[in-house]
Structure 1
Amino acid sequence: MTQRRVSRSGRGRGWAVGGAAVLVAAALTGCGEHRGEVLAAQAATVEAKRLNEALGHRARPRDAASIAADEVLRDADTPAAQDDTTVRREALAWSGRVFGDERATIDVRFVVSVPKRSAAGFGDSGHTAGTAARCYRYELRLYRYTDYREIDCPSGAAPPPPTASPVPKLPDDGRQRLTAVLRTATPQTLAGAVRAAFPQEWITVDTVTHEGALVAAVGVPAERDCLLLVRTPAGRIETPGYDREWLEPGETGCKTGLYVTPPR
């Protein structure tokens, strides 16, 4: 779970979105001794919207557990002044993944605590202490903006927090591996040698012989990760430049065409 404090002076990013409006609205409603609960509930609503905006547009395949661990329960805001409103996030359930036409679903509970505040003087209004819990379901799909809606909060404690899966990537020594292969490969052995050096199923391999040069591209398409090397006819190992825009979905991708037939 993640807990953050919302400053009344700095107010933090989340409270700044609607904190002032919340206080004014609560003052106008005249909720008396229950005003603390009203403020807490409205703060939870603000935080739920803030999380939805942070989850935003999904451009990378991820499973729900990883999103919950890395994005829902991780909060970059730092504690501020004393006696501030506190907001605790709890991941209640997570399932599915952001991949293809699939959907990831994450249920989050926001537990808010508002401390009592006494009126500082004439024209100022204090409020009672109060707490509130609000729950929301977030639905995420690839190349879509995140949707969310309020749901009933379940009773009981939240389950143990999820663990993020490792993000697929090229090995740290990928350049050294591919360089070593290119130094000894022939046009006949190139494809097999490169695949043997990069056996992971999430890594794509594309090779070609072009005008006496050996060209190899290995990548992780989902992460726009690409390594492109060329052994020239003179035996030099070179790294051709290319516009990374061509790694995006629907474009060339991590292919030897980035060198052989570069996009225009």
Structure 2
Amino acid sequence: MDGRRVSGRRARLRAAGVATMVALALTGCGEHRGDVLAADAATADAKSLNEALGDRNRPRDAATIAATEILGEARPLAPPEEGSTVRREALAWSGRVSGDEHATIDVRFVASVPERSAGSFGDTGHSAGEATRCYRYELRMYRETSYREIDCPSGAAPPPPSAAPVPKVPDDGSARLTAVLRTATPQTLAGKVRAAFPQEWITVDTTTHEGALVAAVGVPAERDCLLLVRTPAGRIEAPGYDRVWLEPGEIGCRTALYTAPPR
């Protein structure tokens, strides 16, 4: 009888011990899990940014890329981590994406996860947590962006970079070119169009074709092109064309878009 009592007491003690260990284990898992979730969020956002930067096909300096494609408001995380955010900070930027040149941008990701209470049995919830991760991105023309983790520097981030204006045909370009075409002759066409668009980043191509005056004005690197024709009857027309012909290796922004389009 005494033996059975001792055995029962031992069984109850073992069961209580197991329950205590399970409770401690569950509590321990949740105690610092907020920091783990925050670290995972920062790492995931770094990968997402690398995918978004992707394959570069426009010339840009590092400051412009950082200002327009990396920085912004802190991004909220998707459920079930409502209230969590990841903030990006540009730490350093240099170079440009153009030809054989490359741009380098260092980014700090600061993730914040609020405390969440357990919702059901087996769900321990988690504590509030924060994590910081830093990555270096290298961008090259016509190549996929690459990135790697780096040590985070101490101290605050520098003032955010500013974007440089993107070269483009002026907003009043159509009006300018129309005015030139109305008064130009075959002999004065090229000079008048260049005078109307003196910017060094703008290309000008002119010709005469079957009695028509043709002018193409554009920024090839941006696939920005204005093509107008003055017909023999004096009308100003904007011929249509497939914009794929503006891509590198194609015709580009030239009068051949009208005089000799691909078949």
Q: In structure 2, what is the equivalent of residue 137 of structure 1?
A: 136
SS at match of 2:147: strand
Q: Show the counterpart of 1:175.
A: 174
Superposition map of 1:85-234 within 5 A: 85-234=84-233
Matches of 2:76 and 2:187 in 1, distance apart?
57
Counterpart-to-counterpart distance in 1, 2:35 and 2:94: 31
Distance 1:76 1:187 in 2: 57
What are structure 2's unaligned runs of at least 5 residues?
1-24
Check whether the contact 2:74–2:86 (CA below 8 A) recurs between aligned residues.
no
Q: 2:15 aligns to what? A: none
Q: 1:254 to 1:75 in 2, by over 3 A?
A: farther
Deviation digits for residues 79-110 of structure 1 (CA, Å, limit 9, x no counterpart):
98996222111000111111111111111000
Q: Deviations 1:19-78 (Å, cap 9, x if unpaired)?
A: xxxxxxxx99x7553322211111111111111111112121111101100110035956
* Higher mean displacement: 232-241 or 135-144: 232-241
Corresponding position of 1:42: 40
CA distance in 2 between counterparts of 1:63 and 1:87 reads 25
- Residue 69 (structure 2) pairs with residue 71 (structure 1): yes
Cα distance change of structure 1 residues 125 and 76 upon mapping to structure 2, 3 Å threshold: closer
Q: Which residue matches 2:7?
A: none
Partner of 1:107, secondary structure, is: strand
Letter of the 1:49 counterpart: K
Once the two structures are superposed, the pairs formed by residues 5-24 of structure 1 within 5 Å of their partners are none
Partner amino acid, structure 1, of 2:32: H
CA distance in 1, matches of 2:258, 2:82: 60
Q: 1:199–1:71: structure 2 CA closer, same or farther, 3 Å change rule?
A: same
Bigger CA radius of gyration: 2
Q: Write the distance in 2 (CA, Å) between the matches of 1:97 and 1:211.
A: 44
SS in 2 for 1:259: helix
Q: From the superposition, tell whether residues 35 and 68 of structure 1 become closer, same or farther in structure 2 (CA, over 3 Å).
A: same
Q: What is the percent sequence identity of the aligned residues?
A: 80
State whether residues 75 and 86 of structure 2, in contact with CA within 8 Å, keep that contact through their aligned partners in structure 1: no
